[in-house]
Amino acid sequence: MEQKKLKLADLAKLAGVSTSTASRALNNNPVIKQQTREHVQLLAKKYNFSLNTAASRLRLQKTNVIAVIINLDAHTEQSIDDPFLLKVVSDINQAVNRRGYELLLSNSYMAGDDWHGYFIDGRRADGLIVVGQGKQQQNIDTAAKNGAPLVVWGDPKTPSNYPIVGSNNYVGGYQATMHLLEQGASKLLFLGDSGHAEIGERYRGFNNALEAHQPKGVAKLLKIDITSQAAYTAINNLLRGEGLNFDGIVACSDMVALGALKALKERYVSVPNDVRIVGFDDIAMADISHPSLSSVKQNTREAAKLLVDKLLNQLNGEECMSQEVEIELVCRQSSQ
């Protein structure tokens, strides 16, 4: 079954043309007679011919590959297993494919610190999509400075020399908070690390909504890691220490919200009657949780498309800007 791999020269011989004609025919170069083109293409299909991408890449100095780097914060327990991150990667994968590129899934383990050298100079990929500003802004800056075509998923408001695509986190935080206030909550808890760029924006929205609403609510910030476990522990400790002194929670992610929800339910605090909750991300679990979780939906699909578009535009030498993607508050049982 395992026959020798056909190379372009072999195919050309079979078709009775030169390699150059065969090459042009396969690439549908209109300079070649229609009939010749079809003839070669037919033979290629018949013999399951595939171009050797290694040779082609060497010749063209182009890989048709985009590398996606998962770039988590150094001091977080949040892992690559996080459902939201994986959703982002999956959406990027689709967007990349749709533009005819392949996706090299990567992380700092393989790439080390010199991303430009590893991916671009090393001809592993034509461009980089970095998911998360987190761990090493340094690496991103350096790669961009060295001329790596590069886009980042993160907080678009962060000043940068490269395009950042992400949600309008400020509006997300604002809307979630305003919604809770309008539902009658007044003692609000923000759950998340406000030092993180995207979460900081959400927190700003949270505070501004509290400012804007009458009557004024009371705010409290619980700086925790972006994990269910951290939220669960934090809420448990808070209830044990101070009792129930809040009636609304804005969580920085759905996983965090669900961790909080679990702690509340275990202590027989009713959601949404005693405490209303809104999460962030609108992961699949938000809908399946009981009570179902209200959440600020991030449009990862559109963001992925934008990331890829901007990256390909860079490859064409165009300048690109950061861009915010609009969010949408999805109201479910946990907040009303």
Partner DNA sequence: GTGAAAGCGCTAACAC
Partner DNA sequence: GTGTTAGCGCTTTCAC
Q: What are the structure tokens assigned to 307, written together? A: 């990331």
Q: Which residues inside 57-76 make contact with a second copy, applying CB under 8 A?
A: 57-58, 61, 63, 65, 68
34, 50, 138, 214: which one binds a second copy (CB under 8 A): 50
In angstroms, the CA 79 to CA 328 distance is 25
Q: What are the structure tokens assigned to 201, written together? A: 């924006």
Residue pair 322/160 in contact by the 8 Å Cβ criterion: yes
39, 87, 196, 276: which one binds a second copy (CB under 8 A): 87
Under the binding rule (CB under 8 A), the answer on residue 93 touching a second copy is yes
Total chain residues near DNA (CB under 7 A): 27
Backbone φ, ψ for residue 89 (5° rounding): -60, -45
- Work out how close the CB of 27 gets to DNA at its nearest, in angstroms, rounded to a whole number: 6
Under the binding rule (CB under 7 A), the answer on residue 65 touching DNA is no
Rg, the chain, Cα only: 25
Which residues contact residue 332 at a Cβ distance below 8 angstroms, ignoring those fewer than 6 apart?
286, 287, 291, 292, 293, 294, 295
Under the binding rule (CB under 8 A), the answer on residue 261 touching a second copy is yes
Q: Tell me the C-alpha to C-alpha distance, in Å, between residue 302 and each of 116, 141, 307.
A: 27, 25, 9
Q: Which residues inside 128-167 make contact with DNA, applying CB under 7 A?
A: none
Q: Which residues inside 6-35 make contact with DNA, applying CB under 7 A?
A: 7-9, 16-21, 23-24, 26-27, 31-33, 35
Under the binding rule (CB under 7 A), the answer on residue 58 touching DNA is yes
Q: Tell me the C-alpha to C-alpha distance, in Å, between residue 209 and each of 166, 179, 280, 331.
A: 21, 9, 16, 17
Q: What is the DSSP letter of 285?
A: H
Under the binding rule (CB under 7 A), the answer on residue 74 touching DNA is no
Under the binding rule (CB under 8 A), the answer on residue 330 touching a second copy is no
- Work out how close the CB of 104 gets to a second copy at its nearest, in angstroms, rounded to a whole number: 6
**Residue with Cβ nearer a second copy (35 or 50):** 50
Under the binding rule (CB under 8 A), the answer on residue 280 touching a second copy is no
Q: Which stretch binds DNA (CB under 7 A): 51-59, 188-196, 260-268, 296-304?
A: 51-59
State the pairing for strand pair 65-70/102-107.
parallel
Which residues contact residue 217 at a Cβ distance below 8 angstroms, ignoring those fewer than 6 apart?
181, 185, 186, 187, 188, 210, 248
From the list a second copy, DNA, none, partner contacted by residue 239 (C-beta under 5 to 8 A by kind): none
**Residue with Cβ nearer DNA (15 or 178):** 15
In angstroms, the CA 304 to CA 312 distance is 12
Residue pair 54/42 in contact by the 8 Å Cβ criterion: no
Under the binding rule (CB under 8 A), the answer on residue 46 touching a second copy is no
CB atoms within 10 A of CB 239: 17
Q: Tell me the C-alpha to C-alpha distance, in Å, between residue 208 and each of 99, 174, 202, 227.
A: 40, 7, 10, 25
Under the binding rule (CB under 7 A), the answer on residue 224 touching DNA is no
**Residue with Cβ nearer a second copy (121 or 182):** 121
Under the rule (CB under 8 A), what is the footprint of a second copy?
1-2, 5-6, 48-55, 57-58, 61, 63, 65, 68, 80-81, 83, 86-87, 89-90, 93-94, 97, 102-107, 109-110, 114, 116-118, 121-124, 145-147, 228, 232, 255, 258-259, 261-262, 265-266, 284-285, 287-290, 292
Under the rule (CB under 7 A), what is the footprint of DNA?
5, 7-9, 16-21, 23-24, 26-27, 31-33, 35-36, 51-52, 55-56, 58-61
